[in-house]
Chains A and B, each alone.
Chain A
Amino acid sequence: MILNGLSDANGAGQPIFMLQWTYTEFSMENNAIEMTGITKTFPGVVANDNINLSVLDNEVHALLGENGAGKSTLMSILFGSYDPDAGTIRIRGKEVKIKDPNAATALGIGMVHQHFKLVHNYTVTENIVLGDESRTRFGMLDLKTAEKRVAELSEKYGLRVNPRDKIEDISVGMQQRVEILKTLYRNADILILDEPSAVLTPQEIDELMDIIRRLKSEGKTIILITHKLKEIKAVAERCTVLRRGKYIGTVDVRDVSEEQMAEMMVGRAIKFEIDKAAENPGEVLLAISNLSVRNSRGLLGVKKLSLDVRAGEIVGIAGVDGNGQTELIYGITGLSRAETGSITVRGKEISGMTVKERILAGVGHIPEDRHRHGLVLDFSVAENCVLKNYDSPPFSDGLGVLDFTAINSHAAELISQYDIRAGEGPSMKARNMSGGNQQKVIIAREIDLSPDVLVVAQPTRGLDVGAIEYIRKRIVAERDKGRAILLISFELDEIMNLCDRIAIISKGEIAGIFNSGEVDEHQIGFMMAGSKNKTAEKERA
């Protein structure tokens, strides 16, 4: 069988990347999975357009594409969550119709979701057996038998868990192992892992790679959905690339470089590095000293944290989700009260101020959850643009009456300045815009307020490469204007690329602060896991 892969990215018919590969005499039966001509449309978008995928038995096969390429949809079809509009699926040579997850499970397919599907106050065992519970003679719930089997599986595959722990009490890495055990408990031979490393520290990612190798050695077939090229290089044998719902090609991982895979993924050569002028930091604009903030469960999320950010610099907070980033952001912006400690902006103490007062004092905030905090989705673009200053001139007069002419023209300006695609103009409802454009509205609004201090959280999450590049450029531009920028991100690449200084947060404390270039990924990962660095202590003193 000779296959040709052709990528036709710019629509002008010019092939940018061509790859030819041959597999001789692989018969159909060696394919664990064969998806042919899969098409799936949702209202307004073609998620999968005539996609072919073949996965060999006992292979580790990567599915590569950027956000919105269609990988999750394709796998959801394989797992029975969606019905394809067209196309066929063959499992071990036999054509099947997978109408729901139960059917997929019966075929030996298991899915480990990106957003864990776990019940927070159930134990590990209860989560694993849910839906497939072992029963006693009288039909009663039999958790003891289940516990034994969980322990056996855990031993066999090297997935360390405690069957009696409650999900809300265990680490994210352990929760992921519970998700994997769910599939093994149901005798899955084919495991689909959806962006598994998104929530892990570098060490946990290494452990995950080991787990994948172990599963392969036990005979499992693995499909790895990811956009992390390093991981594909680490464990995958072949890689199928999707772009904008279309099948681009399948490559042997050993034969291609990361750059080549990236180009297939995006359709053009992309720069990994950002052009950045050397930093020229000025005075300290944001000074945090001994800050402690409680989280929503009443525990201290941030413990006596101290940090300075100077004008004209970007300080990055690196760390795994759940180590205090959210509490730190809330503490600085006023969404949570500071338990102890002080926060000053240009020397002025703000820790006792309301959110509004801090906005007026020059604290800007690009929130991590654009739908929850950043926008009122049912408001128009124009109304969202004045969310923080609607109550002062020129947008409302002394009596409190709104001036819609001013509001609308302000929005029109921002739309053109920031290249926001709002088809219906300022009156368009935010809900109807794409994720990238919604984020641009938020960024436009925040930057337009000219804050001295800008707190930026996960600015590029879930966006396509074009939007990501634009947003990163804007952040650097603000830094060059002399703002103090605090960047919180779970993407280590983003931190290392954009930031002038990097602080590692672990369990609510700063484990170390370094100038960028002084540390590499593994040192950062080591600190994320909880051991502090002596040099950092000296710096703070």
Chain B
Amino acid sequence: MNNIIGKVPTILMLVSPILITATGGMICERSGVVNIALEGLMVCGAFASAAAHFFLEPVLGNSLSVWVSLLIGSMAGLVFSYVHAFASVSLNADQTVSGTGINLLANGVTIFLSQILFKQDRTKQFILGMMPGPGGIYPTAFIALLVIFVAWFVLYKRPFGLRLRACGENPQAAASVGINVLRIRYAAVLASGFLAGLAGSCLVLTTNTQFNSTTVNGHGFIALAVVSFGRWKPLGIAGASLLFGTALAFSIIASDYTLLRRMPTEIFNIMPYAITLLTLVIFSGKNYAPLSAGKPYEKGAS
């Protein structure tokens, strides 16, 4: 039993970025925009914060540099998500294509900038990432809890949330009462970009000492599955993140158990993706998606 409790920090370390990204994805999809680019936005955030921390750590000291880098990473995600917002919301582009483009772009730009800044395909290693807090649990876990709580609060207790959810269910209805659907969707996409960037930063600062092309490794897409599996509701998403984060943590935890150590590590690598796929099949929750998610909003159409 002690053994399992001892694994909790590791599990939470991987759950937190997923939960933060999934929250952003939920906000975005609830407003009616499908954001496949979450992966690419996490990559942007991870790269920006890893690079920033490398440069700032000697200057600001570990603590301060970590938090500044988190902010920089979040802003990187925000800025990059503006492209998706502009394409999908203002220009009514195909949201899937636009999102895929962002993913490709993010992968290319981050490695490109690494080449320019560090003359290698990854960032230079920083000395120490984020330090764990009480009980060995990283502060990112608390950040994640805060994020999901604030999201729940705004979505269900504030007028803004009522309007945002309406934009995702029936944007024509929202427009008919004078709500600016485009503005709300923009805000939602930018929020998801900020959160994905934050999540990517949390990921790289807790699990590694540098950013490379395998840092994010599909976590953004797992977050998408979490949103769907969690039925677009905060509580469901929290639970789903726990499940998938645990699966991800398995490949790290497994080395502590002699029986599992014998198996090729790839088996544990496969597990989170296989579980994601399986849950999608068993709990295909298309009926719970916001009604207008993914449909470009056309003004004046009835």
Contact = CB atoms under 8 A, between A and B. Distances in A.
Contact of A119 (B156, B159, B161, B169): B169
Interface in A352-379: none
B158 interface: yes
A81 B300 contact: yes
B158 A131 contact: no
Nearest to B291: A120
A173 interface: no
A130 B169 contact: no
A131 B178 contact: yes
Contacts of B177: 101, 117, 130-132, 182
Contacts of A81: 300
Secondary structure type dominating chain A contacts: loop
Contacts of A141: 156-159, 161-162
A82 interface: yes
A122 interface: yes
A105 interface: yes
A115 interface: yes
A82 B299 CA distance: 10
B169 A133 contact: no
A113 interface: yes
A117 B176 contact: yes
B145 to A, nearest CB: 21
A453 B26 CA distance: 48
B157 A122 contact: no
Interface string B162-177: 1101100110111111
Nearest to A128: B177
A101 B177 CA distance: 7
Contacts of B156: 141
B300 A122 contact: no
A173 to B, nearest CB: 19
Contact of B173 (A111, A117, A140): A117
Interface string B274-302: 00000000000000000100000000101
B179 to A, nearest CB: 5
A131 B302 contact: no
Nearest to B159: A133
A334 B176 CA distance: 37
Given A81-B300, A101-B176, A101-B177, A120 B170 contact: yes
B170 A100 contact: no
Given A113-B176, A131-B179, A132-B177, A122 B166 contact: yes
Nearest to B300: A81
A133 B163 CA distance: 10
Given A113-B302, A119-B166, A120-B170, A135 B178 contact: no
A307 interface: no
Contact-residue bracket for chain A = 20 to 34
Contact-residue bracket for chain B = 20 to 34
Contacts, number: 65
A118 interface: yes
A523 interface: no
Contacts of B172: 117
A130 B158 contact: no
Given A82-B300, A141-B157, A126 B162 contact: yes
B174 A130 contact: yes
Interface in B189-234: none
A130 B173 contact: yes
Contacts of A427: none
Contacts of A105: 178
A140 B166 contact: no
Interface in A100-129: 100-102, 105, 111, 113-122, 126-127
Interface string A92-103: 000000001110
A114 B172 CA distance: 13
A198 to B, nearest CB: 13
A140 B170 contact: no
Contacts of B161: 141
B291 A133 contact: no
B133 to A, nearest CB: 31
A139 interface: yes
A117 B173 CA distance: 4
A133 B179 CA distance: 12
Given A122-B166, A130-B163, A130-B173, A115 B178 contact: no
Interface string B52-90: 000000000000000000000000000000000000000
Contacts of B163: 130-131
Nearest to A115: B302
A111 B177 CA distance: 10
B174 to A, nearest CB: 7
Interface string A120-161: 111000110011110100011100000000000000000000
A334 to B, nearest CB: 22
A121 B172 CA distance: 15
A117 B157 contact: no
Contacts of B169: 119-122
A195 B120 CA distance: 67
B158 to A, nearest CB: 6
Question: Which of A105, A118, A130 has the largest number of chain B CB atoms within 10 A?
Answer: A130
B122 to A, nearest CB: 46
A130 B300 contact: no
Given A105-B178, A118-B173, A120-B169, A130 B291 contact: no
A102 B174 CA distance: 12
12 contacts: A76-B300, A81-B300, A101-B176, A105-B178, A115-B302, A117-B175, A120-B291, A121-B169, A126-B162, A127-B173, A130-B174, A140-B158
- Across the A-B interface, give the 10 residue pairs with the lowest CB-CB distance, nearest first: A131-B177, A117-B173, A102-B178, A133-B159, A117-B176, A119-B169, A101-B178, A119-B170, A119-B166, A131-B179
Interface of A: 76, 81-82, 100-102, 105, 111, 113-122, 126-127, 130-133, 135, 139-141, 182
Given A117-B170, A118-B173, 10 more contacts: A81-B300, A102-B178, A111-B176, A114-B302, A119-B169, A120-B291, A139-B158, A141-B157, A141-B159, A141-B162
